[in-house]
Amino acid sequence: MRSMNIAATGMLAQQLNVEVISNNIANMNTTGFKRQRAEFQDLIYQNLERPGATTSDSGTIDPTGVQVGYGVKTGSVYRIAEQGSLTRTDNKYDMAINGRGYFQILLPDGRTAYTRAGNFSSSPTGQIVTGEGYILQPEIQIPDGALDFSISPSGQVQAVLSGQTAPQDLGQITLASFVNPAGLEALGDNLLVETAASGPATIGNPTGPGLGSINQNYVEASNVNPVFEISALIIAQRAYEMNSKVINATDEMMQATSQVLR
C-alpha cells in the first residue's frame, strides 16, 4: 500500500518544518536575524489512467484520468529579508541598516562575508569589528584619544580629536546589495557569503539607489513574529499527527488483509 510511504514523506516534511520554525523561535532575540520558511512540493505521480487518453473507438477521452501521488518533498528553505525593528542602544559603535543592504565583513581566510547585525565593537587598535573580532569593510579606525565620533545616515564617519574644533573625516562605510539575497549562504555568527544563486554583490554608499540608510546608536532586531511562529508550529504538529494516523490506519488495513488471506 502506497499510503504508508506517502504518509512517511509527510512526517519527514513536517519534521523539517518544525526544525525551521524552532530555529526561528530560538533566534527571536538575535540581532539582524532573518526568519526562514520551509516550502514543499508534491512528488511524482503514477498515471493509472492518463488524462486525455482515448476511452472508446468513437474518440471519447478521459476527462480527468487516474493519477496517484507519491507524497511530498522539501522544495526550499527560504530566507525572508523583511526589515526588523530598530532598537536604540546608545552604543556609538552600533549601527542599524534602515532599508536594503548588508555590512561587509573581512573573514580570517580573506573572504568577504555580509551581515545585517550591526552590533559592532572596537578592536585594541581602534578598528570597528564584530563580536568575533572580524573587521568591518571598508576598514574604519577610530584614532586613539578621539573625543567623539559620528556616523551619518549616508555612512560618512567623522571624529572630533583633542585640540581640534572641526571634525576629521575617517572614512566611508559602504553597503552591499544582491539581486537575490535569499540565495546567500549562512555561515553562522550572523554572517552570510555570496553564492551563484545570490549573484555578485553590488557595492554603494548608504542612501544610494536601492540601499538603506545607517542609524548610529541602533541595532536591527530579528524579524521573527512569535505569534505567527507559534501558529505555524501548531499547524505543523497537527499535520505530523495526521500523517502518523494514516500510517496506523494503513497498518490496520494490512493486518485485516493478511487475516483474510490466511
pLDDT tens, position by position, 144-167:
888 899 999 999 999 998 878 788
**Cα-flanking dihedrals φ and ψ of residue 66, to 5°?**
-130, 105
Query: What pLDDT, on the 0 to 100 scale, is given for residue 262?
Result: 67
Q: Which triple of cell numbers denotes residue 39? A: 516550502
pTM over 0.75, yes/no: yes
Helix (H, G, I), strand (E, B) or coil at 16: helix
Buried b (16+ CB within 10 A) or exposed e, 18-38: bebbeebeebeeebbbbbbeb
Residue 59: burial class (beta carbons within 10 Å; 0-12, 13-18, 19+): exposed
Higher-confidence position of 260 and 129: 129
- In the chain, the percentage of residues whose pLDDT exceeds 70 is 99
Say if residue 203's pLDDT is above 90: yes
What is the pLDDT averaged over residues 131-142? 94
Q: Is it the case that residue 236 has pLDDT exceeding 70?
A: yes
DSSP output for 58-116: T--B-SS-EEEE--EEEEEEEE--PPPPEEE---TTBEEEESS-BEEEE-TTS-EEEES
Question: What b-and-e string marks burial along 172-194, b requiring 16 or more CB atoms within 10 Å of the CB?
Answer: ebbbbbbeebbbbeeeeebbbeb
Length of the chain: 262
Residue 250 in grid coordinates: 494503513
Please, what is the angle between helix 226-261 and helix 2-26, to 10°? Answer: 160
Domain ranges of the chain: 2-81+224-261, 86-220
